[in-house]
């Protein structure tokens, strides 16, 4: 059996906090830690009714670097909460009505592993929002969610295939000067050393 997940629970009120703690205390997969030990926690569970400004400030204060990862358990989870949670870096969202002991443990484990957890209805809304953002904001500016323009992605893919500047220019119907400018802009903006570094970066980030 794997080691229990060190978990800290914060509640917007004492009753909410006590309720979640009581559900987790007897679970062998979880080891609860006190506020003084929050720096040791793998996951911080924040329990509230709504994701308001106070809760957002609390979650930002709890996250010191990469850990603890954040799980928000809230009565109301809507599109507005989804946007704020994403900006904070919340790893999991769970409605209080769905927060059974089994669901809490499962979600804590997923968040601790670096996986996301989000109610299915919110996931659909998130995909719609991302689609609108791409169509209405990024695409008119020649950008994508990767931060690279379609032209930059095309050039990087051909570099990764081993083509030289002339071959890339011929393949894409660009001048060699344009290809060189694209690569220069890309390596400068992302602070990459050379073409190989650019390809390694793109592969590592899943851009190509």
Would you place residue 69 in the very low, low, confident or very high pLDDT band (cuts 50, 70, 90)?
very high
CA 186, distance to chain mean position in Å, is 24
Please name the residues in contact with 2: beta carbons below 8 A apart, sequence gap of 6 or more: none
The predicted pLDDT at position 2 comes to 80
Determine the average pLDDT of the residues in 66-88: 88
Q: Using CA atoms in the order 82, 83, 84, 90, what is the torsion angle rounded to 10 degrees?
A: 60
Residue 126 has pLDDT above 70, yes or no: no
Alpha carbon distance 172, 160 (integer Å) = 15
Q: What percent of the chain has pLDDT over 90?
A: 49
Longest dimension (CA), the chain: 68
The predicted pLDDT at position 57 comes to 93
Mean pLDDT of the chain: 85
Determine the average pLDDT of the residues in 156-168: 87
Query: How buried is 156 (Cβ within 10 angstroms: 0-12 exposed, 13-18 middle, 19+ buried)?
Result: buried
Residue 131 has pLDDT above 90, yes or no: no
Higher pLDDT, 48 or 148: 48
Q: Report CA-CA distances (Å) from 37 to 13, 23, 34.
A: 20, 20, 5
The predicted pLDDT at position 192 comes to 80
Determine the average pLDDT of the residues in 50-63: 92
Among candidate residues 94, 69, 68, the one with its CA nearest the CA of residue 81: 94
Residue 50 has pLDDT above 80, yes or no: yes
Q: How many Å is the Cα radius of gyration of the chain?
A: 22
Global confidence as pTM: 0.64
The predicted pLDDT at position 144 comes to 57
For the ranges 19-33, 66-80, 124-138, the one whose mean pLDDT is highest: 19-33
Phi, psi of 124 (to 5 degrees): -60, -40
């Amino acid at each position: 059996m794997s080691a229990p997940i060190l978990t800290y629970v914060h509640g917007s009120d004492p009753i909410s906090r006590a309720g979640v703690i009581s559900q987790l205390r007897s679970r062998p997969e979880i080891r609860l830690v006190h506020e003084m030990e929050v720096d040791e926690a793998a996951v911080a569970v924040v329990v509230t009714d709504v994701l308001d400004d106070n809760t957002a400030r609390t979650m930002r204060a709890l996250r010191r670097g990469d850990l603890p990862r954040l799980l928000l358990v809230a009565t109301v989870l809507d599109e507005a909460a989804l946007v704020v949670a994403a900006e904070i870096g919340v790893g999991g969202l769970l409605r209080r009505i769905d927060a059974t002991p089994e669901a809490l443990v499962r979600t804590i484990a997923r968040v601790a592993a670096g996986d996301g957890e989000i109610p299915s209805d919110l996931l659909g809304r998130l995909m719609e929002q991302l689609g609108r953002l791409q169509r209405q904001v990024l695409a008119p500016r020649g950008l994508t969610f990767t931060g690279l323009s379609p032209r930059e992605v095309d050039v990087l893919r051909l570099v990764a295939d081993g083509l030289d500047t002339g071959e890339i220019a011929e393949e894409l119907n660009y001048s060699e000067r344009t290809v060189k400018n694209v690569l220069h802009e890309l390596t400068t903006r992302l602070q990459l050393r050379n073409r190989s570094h650019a390809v390694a970066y793109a592969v590592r980030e899943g851009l190509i």
